Amino acid sequence: MARWEPGARERLVHAAVDLFSEQGYDATTVTEIAERAGVTKSTFFRHFPDKRELLVAGQETLSRLLAEGIADADPDAGPMDAVAVGLARASDEMGPANRELGPRLAAAVAASAELRERDALKSVGLALAMTEALVARGVPDTTAHLASEMGVLAFKQGYARWAEGDRADDDGLAPHALAALADLRAAAAALG
């Protein structure tokens, strides 16, 4: 077993998504995930408290990038423009491995109530990070919450479009997330 090779965390995530897709979340054990990743069970538990947490690997980093982008936006930028900067910052960190994992991860989440619940909690965490960053910019609470929820929805829609889209498109996630945000802004304006 390649216990000391770098990238154990990433290998564990990929192994888990593969196994969840092949045999279902409930039927997959931590031991199977560790074996598929080429690590020991104790290495698994150094990285994740349980198999459900594999779904949110990187959530802290994503939350931080979204909040940093919002904080770094032009001081005169409105809430949605600041959210766009946050989306661009976080999206720029997503690479080909994230894109390749997307459809398989979505399928695993769709097939498991427990993973859908954890995915919803992830969305809440991302929205909270953006809300706090917007409030720190002086955006009123209700406006900050609404802008953050739209930001999370734009990120998810953009990620889905990117992950399922043409592989020859190498523009990255940012254009897809920003296009989704523009669509949501137009839809909100049409609500009247």
pLDDT digits (tens, 9 = 90+) for 153-191: 999 999 999 988 877 777 789 999 999 999 999 999 999
Angle, vertex CA 178, rays to CA 175 and CA 183, nearest 5: 120
Q: What is the pLDDT of residue 87?
A: 97
Maximum C-alpha span of the chain: 60
pLDDT digits (tens, 9 = 90+) for 99-128: 888 888 888 888 888 888 888 988 999 999
Query: Phi, psi (5° rounding) for residue 28?
Result: -95, 130
Q: Averaged over 37-57, what is the pLDDT?
A: 88
Predicted TM-score (pTM) of this structure = 0.84
Burial class (CB within 10 angstroms; exposed 0-12, middle 13-18, buried 19+) of 133: buried
Gyration radius of the chain over CA positions: 18
Pick from 72, 66, 71: nearest CA to 86: 66
Q: What is the pLDDT of residue 36?
A: 95
Q: What is the pLDDT of residue 3?
A: 43
Q: What is the pLDDT of residue 130?
A: 98
pLDDT digits (tens, 9 = 90+) for 125-161: 999 999 999 999 999 999 999 999 999 999 999 999 9
Which residue segments constitute the domains of the chain, with CATH numbers given? 8-51 (1.10.10.60), 58-190 (1.10.357.10)
How many Å apart are CA 80 and CA 78, to the nearest integer? 6
For residue 139, which amino acid is it? Answer: V
- The tokens describing 8, both together, are 């154990």
